[in-house]
Amino acid sequence: MYQAPAVRHVVALSTSLIAFMAGMGVAYAQTNTADGPQSTRTPDQKWGVSLSVENDLFTPSNSDQHYTNGVRLAFVSPEDSAPAAFLNVAKQIPFFASDGRIRTSYSLGQTMYTPDDITIAENQPNDRPWAGMLYGTAGLLSDTGLRSDDGESNYSRIDTLELTLGVVGPASLADKTQDFVHKVIDSPRPKGWDNQIKNEPIIGLTYERKYRSWFEADIAGIEFDATPHGAVTLGNAFTNAELGTMFRMGFDLPADYGPPRIRPSLPGSDFFVPDTEGFPISGYLFAGFAGRYVLRDITLDGNTFADSASVDKEPLVGDLQIGFAVIVGQARLTYTHVYRTPEFTAQSGADQFGSLSLSFRF
């Protein structure tokens, strides 16, 4: 359960991180002297849809353990189409770039976590608890844009506000999902879901800021850029603060912020805007890293208001990811391989898993 000192600690940490990002915003503002919108480019009129699947099937061990599967379907609206009520809320938040190009985002996802050996029916108190999560999100994304209509490159940023509602426990249907899939693919049947954490509604609020073109270069026609980010999440499922950076190298780099991912993770973007003046096929290689200070993870800490399986978590968790993205017309395919440091004290080593995502514009 939450303790008051932990709450005070995360509030202080969140305030410090927001102040840091606000300071970066001051540096950004000094390069943009216009009083009007931060982005003067023509708004993007396309919807975006992304399907992301994350699984340890993509690893050499090909075994179910720890974070074993995640599925997420996301939709992103055209720019400047957010409901007025959403925009009014955004404008009341001083560090949110409400004068950028605004999109709304919606997603539905399911994640599942298991111990190392899923064939053991008894509770395994020293291994990761069985846990499933089913959730939906609604968010606002404010993008100041990579280039204005005059073709000039701008120091661009995107602010994200995201509300998550969902449930953990048997109501997430993670046990039935894994059992069904393993039956279809003739894989060992999971036997320990009776030990999963109990039903609990979850709520979370995330604020995230990313800077694209913080660094950019063009060497012999190969483009490079770097996108640092900071994020804070508060809720009974996850409470953490994160800092990291993503580096890209490729041709006709699209206006996106990297591949979409399932939280908690290095962030990307469900939308992308191809370079319409370039070749119809483009792509890039990427690598990124992030560190999270974790004060709450319900899949490790167990239920907030009830006794359940739990383990002692590691307060600092790091992610390293590498991968590629290919853009063909209005479609984007990405693969990300993730290395994650241990998340609980009894964990024997780092985890790894793969993330495959397919996005379309329409």
For residue range 48-60, list pLDDT tens digits in order: 999 999 998 877 7
Lowest pLDDT segment from 28-37, 59-68, 150-159, 261-270: 28-37
Q: How far apart are CA 115 and CA 196, in angstroms?
A: 10
Given a cut of 60, is residue 5 above it in pLDDT? no
How does the average pLDDT of the chain come out, rounded? 85
Q: What is the pTM of this model?
A: 0.85
Distance set, CA 313 to CA 116, 149, 175, 272, 346 (Å):
16, 49, 23, 35, 9
CB 354 within 8 A of CB 57: yes
247 pLDDT band (50/70/90 cuts)? very high
Task: List the Cα angle 229/235/240 in 5-degree steps.
Answer: 35
- The structure tokens listed for 206 are 């995330």
25 pLDDT band (50/70/90 cuts)? very low
Given a cut of 60, is residue 34 above it in pLDDT? no
Given a cut of 90, is residue 222 above it in pLDDT? yes
Question: Residue 10: its pLDDT value, please?
Answer: 40
Domains and CATH numbers, the chain: 4-361 (2.40.128.140)
